[in-house]
Amino acid sequence: MLGSTIGRFFVGVLALIAVATAAGLVLLWPTGEPALDLGPGLGTATERAEVLRIAELRCAGFDGTCRGVAVRIRTGPDRGRIKAFQLGVGGIDPPLEVGDVLRVAPEEPLPGARERSYLLADFERRAPMLWLAIAFAALVVVFGRLRGALSLIGLAVSLAVVVAFVLPGILTGEPPLAVAIVGALAIMLVTILLTHGVGPKALAAALGTAASLLLTIALAVTFTGLTNLTGLATEEATLLAANSSGVSLEGLLLAGIVIAALGVLDDVTVSQASTVLALRAADPAQSFATLFRRALEVGRDHVSATVNTLVLAYVGASLPALLLLSSTRLGLGETLNSELVAKEIVATLVGSIGLIAAVPITTALAVLLSARLDAEELAGAEHGHAH
């Protein structure tokens, strides 16, 4: 099938996208020192510690009681030693119990001090997260078998692209939007082709994702400008601006929209391409218009559910900010106009429009590619094999 004229044309387009993505990776690959350095404030090394005792105290210079916490240091130069710190006199003050495992940060030693003192930095969370990740991976492999295992590899590649390319690229001063576009295309190519093979389903899904992603980017750039979004609505953005990092906050906002949209687009385009091939296999003689219409009906149901998922994902991520705004006496219009809310509205609507556009685009591509498949090829294409 991929030897047909339309198949060769689509393969050529995807090859051009792959070459452009590879060139972008080479040109934008992070080199040199990061342009942003926040110093030790957010990056202080911490040590593992276990809570031994908690006692209520009356702290000097503080109106009320505070808590004294004794911990045994489990790592670092003070391993095995017992240290103490106070909670309730400023800084974080979470509920603690004896036996809790914490991360503690060493304080700057006072002149003449013989021993190092520590402050509570956070809870130790890595072990529970590791077990959760193992459970997730096991379920994916048991349910998805080989396809599930390949999807896990694709997930690892996606995270590797973000950690090794996107974040360092932005930190070294490359344009955030350009880095996000190249990173998103690289993730899309690897995950779709790795998980679904090199066949009509993967080809239609990859091209549909690329086209929808470009539409999403165009809309994001346009409406970020029209709504005058600055990217300064969050504390993190303010911290970046205050440290003269040189990072474009508007570009960072756009990059976030691109990366967030990619995952949903992948899901929709692969499902839609698979639907087309299944419908073609059920009735190979149906016309382009009939197959397109039938597949679109399925796509409408998928989009309705996915748009709701996308909106709720943004709402969930912004819930603390929405709660704060809801507690004010601002009117609804003024609340929606605030950048903290407006940026989420723009991101949600832009991503949703790209999502909706992905359905007819991918459907049309998959219908064209499936037109000359025989029954055996259709059976193989449904399972993601190349022919």
What the block records as the tokens of 132 is 């959760």
Q: Quick one: which of 366, 350, 28 has its CA closest to 215?
A: 350
Question: Is residue 247 within 8 Å of 30, Cβ to Cβ?
Answer: no
* pLDDT for the residue numbered 40: 47
Query: Sheet containing 47-58: which strands, arranged edge to edge?
Result: 82-87, 65-73, 47-58, 101-106, 118-123
pTM of the model: 0.81
pLDDT of residue 3: 56
Residue 243: per-residue pLDDT: 62
d(CA 22, CA 37): 29
Please report, for residues 65, 93, 109, 168, the alpha-carbon distance to residue 89 in angstroms, rounded to integers and kept in the order given.
9, 8, 19, 37
Query: Which are the contacts of 216, defined by CB distance < 8 A and separation ≥ 6?
Result: 257, 258, 261, 265, 350, 351, 353, 354
Spans of the chain below 70 pLDDT: 1-3, 34-43, 60-64, 90-91, 109-113, 241-246, 373-387
Q: Which domains does the chain have, with CATH numbers?
A: 5-30+142-382 (no CATH), 47-124 (2.40.50)
Nearest 5°: the CA angle 43, 44, 48 is 120
Q: What is the pLDDT of residue 69?
A: 92
- The end-to-end CA distance of the chain, in Å, is 7
Phi–psi pair at 198, nearest 5 degrees? -115, 85
- Dist CA 48 CA 100 (whole Å): 11
* Per-residue pLDDT at 65: 75
CB of 208 closer than 8 Å to CB of 196: no
Question: How many other CB atoms are found less than 10 A from the CB of residue 293?
Answer: 12
What is the per-residue pLDDT for 183?
95
pLDDT at 104: 93
Distance CA 315, CA 368 (A): 38
Strand partners, 117: none
Distance CA 174, CA 27 (A): 10
Give the model's pLDDT for residue 91: 67
Q: Which two tokens stand for residue 36?
A: 């942003």
Report the pLDDT value the prediction gives residue 386, as an integer from 0 to 100: 37
Q: Are strands 82-87 and 65-73 parallel, antiparallel or unpaired?
A: antiparallel
Which pLDDT value is given to residue 370? 85
Q: How far is it, in rounded angstroms, from Cα 160 to Cα 365?
A: 30
Q: How far is CA 183 from CA 17, 26, 175, 211, 260, in A?
A: 12, 11, 12, 15, 12
Give CA angle at 201 (196, 205), nearest 5°: 90
Closest by alpha carbon to 320, among 341, 296, 343?
341
Whole-angstrom CA distances from 127 to 47, 105, 123, 131 are: 15, 19, 11, 6
The pLDDT of residue 385 is 39
| Residue type at position 111 | P
